[in-house]
Amino acid sequence: MSTRNFGRGSRLGRSPRRRLAASSGRPSFGGKRPLARRGGFRDQYIDCSRFVCKAKPQTESKPYQPQHAFADFAIDQRLKENIVTKGYVTPTPIQDQTIPAILEGCDVVGVANTGTGKTAAFLLPLLHKVILDNRENILIIVPTHELADQINQELIAFRGRLRIFSVCCVGGASIGRQISDLRRGYNFVIGTPGRLKDLIERGLIRPERFSTLVLDEADRMLDMGFVNDMRFIMSLMPVTRQTLFFSATVSREIDKLVKEFLTSPVTISVKTGDTAKNVDQDIIKISHEHEKISVLHNLLAKPEFTKVLVFGRTKFGVERLSVGLIQKGFKADAIHGNKNQSKRQAALRLFKENKTKILVATDVAARGLDIPNVSHVINYDVPATYDDYVHRIGRTGRGDQMGKALTFVC
């Protein structure tokens, strides 16, 4: 996680940078339109106009007509009953097209907008695979603790009373507990790359026993520098296996990994655009950095800001901002890499249960998390890349709900 100084990197539209943009082939706007930039050579120039997009009502587009109902899928009847219990009625596009391909044993690359049901798209057919053969072992690799825990909770809900067991292996949590769970037996291991590698090197996880591999939010794992750990784990797995890639975005590096580790994959892309059409996006213009906190306070005090996810740049800045909001009387909490796993889970749980109105977070909360009824996402600090922006604002406007995203720019 980057901890570079935000103040220098956040100033937008200065003429030297416009000259740099012109000389490097990046777009220049003649001083009329600033470019968003975070400090550091890996940061990406983002045209601020990309942070502005009027939400389109769902009625403007023709509803997706699924080819299947959940009852049509060739999965165990007990799974279908659990799906009904969970409240699922009609498959989303990614579920509708991906579940049959996974059931057929194909390698799959699944690309869809965030909040469209990718987790169920791979969990349901893989649970059926385990029901058919309880000796099956499935490895799911994800970039963050929170996403691993969320997938595990989804798995538990879908399995119901079926005797299918999972172990969540993430850094920042007790390795002793994870070792104990691994020794009791499992069908699914869900974890982050670093902790999985540690357990493999200790001989507690044997990759050669896993017949199926899932990489969820694979592009984020590359961004976080996990590519060597991923390669290490995959190199120890059977050559003949089923491999599934899921993400809301696909980069050139992901394309390389797909060619390296998947065999004749079926690519299923149901992405309808960079960002969800039901998220209303706008910018908040700030003349000076010191104005941001008072503007944020005024926004959060408005009654329509019922459940707000605020994204900051650094762990220190996020913690400081959350403390400042609490001192102002807001029900707020923070989630970032310096908090231990139990405190992060507690903060996330309180936010999901509406006991906390505001969650201030680094990009650790930007990927894959399904948090119901987030009314607003506020980018208090400009994201490093447009992909980061896409994932941040994807925490609101989930499913068929409308959401609002605001980005502070100086």
| CATH of the domain spanning 6-58+274-409, picked from 3.20.20.70, 3.40.50.300, 3.30.70.890, 3.30.70.20 | 3.40.50.300
Q: Where in the chain is the domain with CATH 3.40.50.300?
A: 6-58+274-409, 70-269
Reduce the DSSP state of residue 75 to 3 states and report it. coil
Q: Residue 63: which residues within 8 A CB-CB, separation 6 or more?
A: none
Separation between Cα atoms, residue 334 and residue 143, nearest integer Å: 19
* Burial of 220 (C-beta count, 10 Å sphere; 0-12/13-18/19+): buried
Q: What angle do CA 117, 393, 39 make, to 5 degrees?
A: 130
Q: What angle do CA 237, 224, 199 make, to 5 degrees?
A: 40
Residue 104: CB partners within 8 Å, gap ≥ 6? none
Secondary structure element (H or E) that encloses residue 80, with its range: helix 77-86
Structural element, H or E, at residue 256: helix 252-261
> For the chain, what is the largest distance between any 2 Cα atoms, rounded to a whole number of angstroms?
64
Regarding the domain with residue range 70-269, which homologous superfamily does it belong to in the CATH classification?
Answer: P-loop containing nucleotide triphosphate hydrolases (3.40.50.300)
Q: How do the pLDDT tens digits run along the chain, 410 residues long? A: 333 333 333 333 333 333 333 333 333 333 333 444 433 335 677 778 788 887 765 544 566 788 999 999 999 999 999 999 988 888 999 999 999 999 999 999 998 766 678 899 999 999 999 999 999 999 999 988 888 999 999 999 999 999 999 999 998 888 999 999 999 989 999 999 999 999 999 999 999 999 999 999 887 787 778 889 999 999 999 999 999 998 777 777 778 888 888 999 999 988 665 556 788 999 999 988 889 999 999 999 999 999 999 999 899 999 999 999 999 999 999 998 888 878 888 898 899 999 999 999 998 777 667 788 999 999 999 988 887 888 888 888 876 788 999 999 98
Exposed, middle or buried: residue 155 (CB in 10 Å: 0-12, 13-18, 19+)? buried
- Angle value at C-alpha 263, between 258 and 267, nearest 5 degrees: 60
